[in-house]
Amino acid sequence: MSIPANGRTTTRRTGLSLPPDLPLSEWRHLGQQIHVIADSSTWWLGDWLIFGQEHYPDRYRQALKQTSLDYQTLRNYAWVARKFEPGRRRGKLSFQHHAEVAALPEAEQDEWLTRAEEGGWTRNALRRQIRMRRQSPEAAQEPGVVQVNVVAERRIRWERAAEIAGLGLMDWIVQMLDEAADDPVPHIPGPAADPPALGA
Q: What is the DSSP string of 61-110?
A: HHHHHTSSS-HHHHHHHHHHHHHS-GGG--TTS-HHHHHHHTTS-HHHHH
**What pLDDT is recorded for position 2?**
38
Average pLDDT over residues 55-82: 80
Query: Is the pLDDT reported for residue 196 higher than 50?
Result: no
Residues ≥6 apart with Cβ < 8 Å to 16: 9, 10, 34
Task: Give the number of other CB atoms < 10 A from CB of residue 110.
Answer: 15
DSSP character at residue 196? P
- In this prediction the pTM is 0.60
Instruction: Say which amino acid occupies 154.
Output: R
H/E element holding 10?
A: strand 10-12
**What pLDDT is recorded for position 97?**
95
Compare 93 and 165 and report the one with higher pLDDT.
93
How far, in Å, CA of 89 to CA of 181, rounded? Answer: 22
**What pLDDT is recorded for position 109?**
95
Which residues in 2-40 are b (16+ Cβ under 10 Å) and which e?
Answer: eeeeeeebebeeeeeeeeeeeeeeeeeebeeeeeeeebe
Instruction: Say which amino acid occupies 92.
Output: K
Query: Is the pLDDT reported for residue 150 higher than 70?
Result: yes
Of the candidate ranges 128-132, 165-169, 195-199, the one whose mean pLDDT is the lowest: 195-199
Nearest to 117 by CA among 102, 99, 98: 98
Q: What is the pLDDT of residues 86-145, one digit of tens each?
A: 999 999 999 999 999 999 999 999 999 999 999 999 999 999 899 888 877 665 455 566
Query: Is the pLDDT reported for residue 80 higher than 70?
Result: yes
pLDDT band with cut points at 50, 70 and 90 for residue 52: confident
Q: Helices 169-182 & 152-165, crossing angle to 10 degrees? A: 80
**What pLDDT is recorded for position 176?**
84
Q: Is 2 helix (H, G, I), strand (E, B) or coil?
A: strand
How far, in Å, CA of 67 to CA of 107, rounded? Answer: 34
Average pLDDT over residues 69-92: 89
How far, in Å, CA of 129 to CA of 168, rounded? Answer: 13
Taken in order 173, 178, 180, 181, the sign of the CA dihedral is positive
